[in-house]
Structure 1
């Protein structure tokens, strides 16, 4: 394979796996050789952060009919499930662990040895240079060369919470999705979780299952929980958005009007908006995008990213039993305390001290722009530039990363969460698989051209 075109995919989660799968399928369709090097920091190739969980109660948030890995084959996941003895239909919600196995199998099946080969590398990509061609530097001093690179970085770890950044305690879990991060929380001590979103739900389910006495306190400014998926899921409702200049107020009025016209049935309206989100996001000015992030994003997220009925029932049961207590407020300080940690939660003009055994940061993905050495190095070296909101990297419509001058790189591409600032709706499987399918032919051409 020494003379074959090669592509490095940095990131072995869902984004990287979908990119590799569509690349291998495209190379097979063109009958050309190809080597793909899939680099994953923790050796969780094909499962990554989201699908490496072993908790059977962690379910997909979308039904099986919507979760095929292949953009041109919507029934692929269901066929895999039936072939593997899983009695499910399109409206069922699979365990995320099963979906991780599905991604591994789909990746393995996409290989076509000896012409089209996947090589898995475990390591941390710390830098990227491009003289003479793309070279990825690993933190252990290894180097990997290729003809093109895909930055499939996925979601970043939670941003460091400034008020607890100085706590040096094994009872402070800064990233709940780091390998084995939650396995230590099994002593029955109270757990305080920063955030009330999807990650909090997963944390609460896992730690309360690990010990029957565990109580979880979940804290956020709005105390909003993800909404449950209706059963059955209603059909998507077309939503008409006025042409011309678009402001956040115009958008919110159109959505409220659509919900009212749909007799208050908001899930259909939200699902009807989803195919338009990327276009609508591009129509908002940077100032209006920032207003959305500050004022409306949390409300959109809890209605857009809903939890399965079984998960919602489990959350309701924990709340009814007093084992999940949702608090509106902010953590203003934390220190070593008699039970492990003492945390002060402030809400409006009141506050309370909580003595807890564990503190878990589940505030959601942080930006990699200022936290990931690979990304900060790319920006500092002029090979990439952040989007205007600093949520990720700026790229052209085909995923080519823009350099400091705004010129698309011919051999460096990205997809998925790093495009959130440009596309906003870019973290779910349907969006990422479409990006992977569109990116594959361009990557093949970039890798094959060695002029």
Structure 2
């Protein structure tokens, strides 16, 4: 087993791995350095919100931190409110509390067991992997460990093409919505707010700003102008294991065939959601069957549709979105952002129509970029990831989906696999595709802990 281990990242994936490692009670004491990067340990961006308007998009019963303890989160929530049910969609703030509590418990037990655990609120400047171990550099300090795991989550968002420097410098164009929401204050002015993107991040922004800014008008722009789908009020389960569908998809790994098969299966089902959900355990293996050209075709033509049906809103959140539209406060619009400039104290946007290619213009007081996860290692400004890529220690996924790696989480470079450098979560999206939600993260954490602690 590895004796000296480093985890880099302060979010839920890092917390899940840390807790899995310490839950095992290994025979030999561990020396574990957890570099949280200054974030609140365990919460990260995903669960750092303090607003009760921001709900989980997975039911409480499916959100345990541990693969081996399926009721973990539900038990935690019910200790504070016995009326909570496993089918409820609970605030992400509460889930962040749960993660923090589990990490605190794991750290206390680990120290009692003689493990040397250091929680370091620093960003790592560089990582140098070698065949015998990994060197970690932060500031003037170097440390040598047996294994390192990158649990970095989504990379910092980058401005879209066409956004001028003046627009960025004005502070009216927001690239990082979560930091913005954390500092937003009530405002009664009749503001015009434009959101670029219509996924779950956009929904969270709309929920918060519509309450904080009661007189604001919102326009949300995306390629197809559609909100994410919603869960049903009552939980549903597949009537079968969809084995015939899975087998048919394996026999023909191309996107056009898969779309046809999924449409046929959905048409034959009483609820299309059960068809989508039945694919979840098989998605990584199906993804690996796709040639690079088919993966690229999926990202160009089908990704938007998949994200809509796969990552769904809680029913009460959908009701809030529809209410904003009925009240005339939210307009959804199809289009692609071409340019953003500053003009007369406002932001001036040029939007290209997907129907005929014509360009129309509009002005806004605030523009918020809500296009979802950034996983493009090739263009990131993240200091550590840039260092790893620049020095050739990792190979970027050619489609911008994190780093090349193995299904076990080992990172690769120049076609070779590092024996002691791992990743968990978002950086593995090019390898696994499904690698961002807690059900997948906790299974990765469990498997990775087994590997790290193997004799």
Fold match by TM threshold 0.5: yes
Q: Is 2:156 the partner of 1:154?
A: no
Contact 2:159 2:175 in 1 (8 A): yes
Match of 2:18 in 1: 20
From 215, 220, 223, the counterpart of 2:222: 220
Match of 2:171 in 1: 170
Q: How far apart are the structure 2 equivalents of 1:328 and 1:164?
A: 19
Q: Is 2:450 the partner of 1:441?
A: yes
Match of 1:82 in 2: 78
From 207, 218, 227, the counterpart of 1:205: 207
| Deviations, residues 122-162 of structure 1 (Å, cap 9, x unaligned) | 22223112477423223x54545432110001112333201
Contact 1:401 1:408 in 2 (8 A): yes
| Deviations, residues 105-125 of structure 1 (Å, cap 9, x unaligned) | 111112321423542222222
| TM-score between the two structures when normalised by the length of structure 1 | 0.92
| TM-score between the two structures when normalised by the length of structure 2 | 0.91
Q: Is 2:294 the partner of 1:285?
A: no
Contact 2:405 2:412 in 1 (8 A): yes
Superposed, 1:231-270 pairs within 5 Å as 231-237=233-239, 238-239=241-242, 240-241=245-246, 242=248, 243-263=250-270, 265-270=271-276
Q: How far apart are the structure 1 equivalents of 2:366 and 2:291?
A: 41
Give ranges in structure 1 of 5+ residues lacking alignment: none
1:178 counterpart SS class: helix
Match of 1:416 in 2: 425
1:125 counterpart SS class: coil
Match of 1:47 in 2: 43
Contact 2:181 2:208 in 1 (8 A): no
Contact 1:258 1:269 in 2 (8 A): yes
From 387, 404, 407, the counterpart of 1:394: 404
Q: Is 2:69 the partner of 1:60?
A: no
Question: Does the C-alpha gap of structure 1 residues 130 and 288 become closer, same or farther in structure 2, counting only changes over 3 Å?
Answer: closer
| Deviations, residues 369-390 of structure 1 (Å, cap 9, x unaligned) | 1203322322332322123423
Match of 1:102 in 2: 98
From 192, 198, 201, the counterpart of 1:196: 198
1:155 counterpart SS class: coil
| Deviations, residues 4-52 of structure 1 (Å, cap 9, x unaligned) | 93321111111111111111112x1x33311322222342210001100
Deviates more, 1:423-432 or 1:165-174: 165-174
| Aligned-residue RMSD, C-alpha | 2.1
Query: Deviation at 1:99?
Result: 0.2
1:260 counterpart SS class: helix
Question: Does the C-alpha gap of structure 1 residues 368 and 181 become closer, same or farther in structure 2, counting only changes over 3 Å?
Answer: farther
Q: How far apart are the structure 2 equivalents of 1:184 and 1:357?
A: 15
Query: Deviation at 1:418?
Result: 0.6
| Deviations, residues 380-410 of structure 1 (Å, cap 9, x unaligned) | 3232212342311122221111132x23212
Deviates more, 1:17-26 or 1:195-204: 17-26
| Deviations, residues 168-194 of structure 1 (Å, cap 9, x unaligned) | 211111111237655268463221111
1:49 counterpart SS class: coil
Match of 2:318 in 1: 312
Question: Does the C-alpha gap of structure 1 residues 33 and 87 become closer, same or farther in structure 2, counting only changes over 3 Å?
Answer: farther
